[in-house]
Amino acid sequence: MKVGIVGKGGVGKTTTSALIARALSERGRRVVAVDTDSNPNLGMSLGLTLEETEDVPLLPRSLIVGSGGDVSAEEVIDKYGRTTPFGVTLISAIRVNEAGAGCTCGGHASVRSFLGDVLHDKADVTLVDMEAGLEHLSRSGGTLAYADVLLVIMEPSRKSIITAARTIALAEELGIPRTYGVGNKARREDDVEFFEKVCAEYGVPLAGVIPFDAAVVDADRAGGSLAEGSGDPVRREIDKIVDFLDGVTVA
């Protein structure tokens, strides 16, 4: 299964991506997590230090993976992947280190070709933590065109859910077969009901609602991963979302 995780800036994409990847790995799945943020932090959420995250080799922008390309997906994982403390293999696809460095379109093209060629005997789940916004769905060819499932992370606001509805429309144009919303940062007692009601209003299928938890905030402030034994309410909902994904049939 190839899963793309998208959403507006600040909704918690990277934290959610890391928690889903961890949960899948804990179930014995071979997980490859691709960080496409130009300011990559997924490695830190997967237990690497800042230095270790920055040392992950960058996927070349001009790389074409697959038949007729430069390398196979297996070679990409072996050469550019780094195993994190939670057993997830991390690939860093895009990084902006200097002003005026130019467009990152080449990096997105590399990710697209990688998703098109990723091998089942090397990864059970390939998860892509996308940068904020919708540009990756409107690029020529679409970075996530080969995704089986798209998860749109949403805050408990109508604007965030409207963005999810717009994302679904773009995903359908790209041919992504299944897109679901994931509510995040549910703090008030009526937040779950709000997500259910407004998502139904805008035609956004809901895969789950993750509660707000101070332990997640503490981990983010520390620049690390959610500590073992903390954030149980969040972990329980993440497990439900993974169960939901397990029930999704992919071609």
Place of tokens 């604007």: 159
Q: Does residue 251 sit within a domain?
A: no
CATH of the domain at 119: 3.40.50.300
Residue 169, token pair as written in the block: 């429309």
Number of domains in the chain: 1
pLDDT tens, residue by residue, 44-82: 999 999 999 989 988 776 666 666 666 777 888 888 899
pLDDT by 10s per residue, the chain, length 251? 989 999 888 899 999 999 999 999 999 999 999 998 777 789 999 999 999 998 998 877 666 666 666 677 788 888 889 999 999 999 988 554 433 444 444 445 666 666 666 656 678 999 999 876 665 565 544 667 778 899 999 999 999 999 999 999 888 888 888 999 999 999 999 999 999 999 999 999 999 999 999 999 999 999 889 988 899 999 999 999 999 999 987 76
Q: Is residue 192 part of a domain?
A: yes
Is 201 a domain residue?
yes
Q: How deeply is 220 buried, as exposed, middle or buried, from its count of CB atoms within 10 A (0-12, 13-18, 19+)?
A: middle
197, two tokens: 């009601």
Q: For the chain, how many residues are written?
A: 251
Whole-structure pTM value: 0.87
Structural domain of 101: 2-246
Within a domain: 6: yes
The one-character DSSP state at 213 is -
CA distances from 5 to 63, 133, 236, 249 (A): 22, 11, 19, 18
